[in-house]
Amino acid sequence: MSTPQVFGDRYRLVRPVGAGGMGRVWQGLDLHLEREVAVKVVKPDLLDGPQRHEAAARFRREARVTAQIQHPGVPAIFDAGLDEASGELYLVMAYLPGLNLRDLLDETGALPGDWTLAVGAQLASVLAAAHAKQVVHRDLKPANIIVGPEGLVHVVDFGIAAVLEPDVSRLTMTGDKPGTLNYMAPEQIRAQPAGPAADLYALGALLYEMATGERLFADRGSAYEVQTAHLKELPDPVRRHRPDLPAELDGLVSRLLSKEPAERGSDAAAIHLRLAALLAAAPASNAPAHDCGDPTWPFRAPLAPARVAALAASQTAVATAPHGRDRIAEADRAFGMGDYNGALSAFRALAKDFESPDPALALHCQMRAAQCLAALGNAASALTGLTRVIERQRRLEGDRARSTLRSRRIAADLLAVLGRGPEAHRELSTVVHEMAAALGPADADTIEAERLLRTWSAPSPMGPAWPVPPPASPGSPPR
């Protein structure tokens, strides 16, 4: 794909973050407003041949229908257009840091009971807003759901949504069944009209998977057998797998997975209220938040910042208590005195302790542990660990966050230590540019990165000896 660096003379593509049925999604930068955005670029092959007009129409419709749904769980649409340089359609949306539900389920298996109820309640709220605008999603699945750092659940990719107005023509090809098989309602499998009840079936399949850790009918050997199961079979009751969950949830999931749309109902708002009521009565699991926020926070601590919400939900003050900050200070002192083994052990323990109540602070400690490894002469392992930290920081805090940019600058140091001079020079040059744009040219981190770049000579093809910088100060931990 020969995608230009800048779309529409305004949106610079930074890195790919996902792919959908119609295109690839990039994390980007709005050069006019200096803000992070997500840019979806339509697949070039969809714009060739007989499907060209259909794909273009569906892409433009995605912009219209998504923009009409006013809900915190639906990403804001900023722009849509045709890039003159490449001839490709693009859609510009709010960038959503966090973790998609597919990755979360793959990492954890079954979710805690309160997380299952909270994610389900938020999804039902989004569906209620969409259905009120006469829009049905038709492809609700874990990969299209993002749990953000504040615990808010977002639904993305309304690209195959069916607008229910009677005068709107169907844009899918004859015989096409939009959706993903494990979450597809029986009427979709039969290629019949899919209304709001189809989304509720998908919600039932998601609740089943979150509660049990098993994808609906995933044990079937072929796609045909999965389709047949959706049409004719009932899954095992949820409580057979999870007897700790309330019986009312079991009954609700069974109803949502009814074969007949009329038996499921079509009132997503009522489903939201039932799940929210079950959540209010459920004990808090205090589960680790991983690379996302706890989805129960918006219910237990509405509008609170993530750290405040975490403390309200877990009633633990480990991340902000004085002794926690004292432990970080002690580890920093050990590092400054050259006790790298002691500092490494301390930072690893701190990262583990802070993972649940404060993931951002846990990442800070993991970054410091990587610096300890580098100081001990194990730069390769340090770079591997720091690369994982940077990817998590990008998901959790964004590409232009100070913590992410600091970690990337340290990663450039490690590349130089490993003799990868040209790569280190390119990365540090990029970081200096992005620090200046995000933090300002007079910021202390920007000035330090520029100073380091000036001390490095331009790399030659022979890979000259680069100065090995001392372990960089990471600055204060996040507050």
Count Cβ atoms below 10 Å from residue 14 Cβ, excluding itself: 20
Beta bridge partners, 77, equal 93
352 a known binding residue? Answer: no
- State the SS3 of the chain: CCCCCEECCCEEEEEEEEECCCEEEEEEEECCCCEEEEEEEECHHHHCHHHHHHHHHHHHHHHHHHHHCCCCCCCCEEEEEECCCCCCEEEEEECCCCEEHHHHHHHHCCCCHHHHHHHHHHHHHHHHHHHHCCEECCCCCHHHEEECCCCCEEECCCCCCEECCCCCCCCCCCCCCCCCHHHCCHHHHCCCCCCHHHHHHHHHHHHHHHHHCCCCCCCCCCHHHHHHHHHHCCCCCHHHHCCCCCHHHHHHHHHHCCCCHHHHCCCHHHHHHHHHHHHHHCCCCCCCCCCCCCCCHHHHCCCCCHHHHHHHHHCCCCCCCHHHHHHHHHHHHHHHCCCHHHHHHHHHHHHHHHCCCCHHHHHHHHHHHHHHHHHCCCHHHHHHHHHHHHHHHHHHHCCCCHHHHHHHHHHHHHHHHCCCHHHHHHHHHHHHHHHHHHHCCCCHHHHHHHHHHHHCCCCCCCCCCCCCCCCCCCCCCCC
State yes or no: is 219 an active-site residue. no
Among the options 139, 157, 291, 332, which is catalytic?
139
Query: Cα separation of 161 and 178, whole Å?
Result: 9
By the 10 Å C-beta count (0-12 exposed, 13-18 middle, 19+ buried), 161 is classed as: buried
What is the rounded distance in angstroms from the CA atom of residue 155 to the CA atom of residue 101? 10
Distance CA 104, CA 110 (A): 10
474 contact partners, CB below 8 Å, separation of at least 6:
364, 367, 368, 371, 406, 410
- Residues annotated as part of the active site: 139
**Annotated binding-site residue numbers:** 40
**Annotated binding-site residue numbers for ATP:** 40
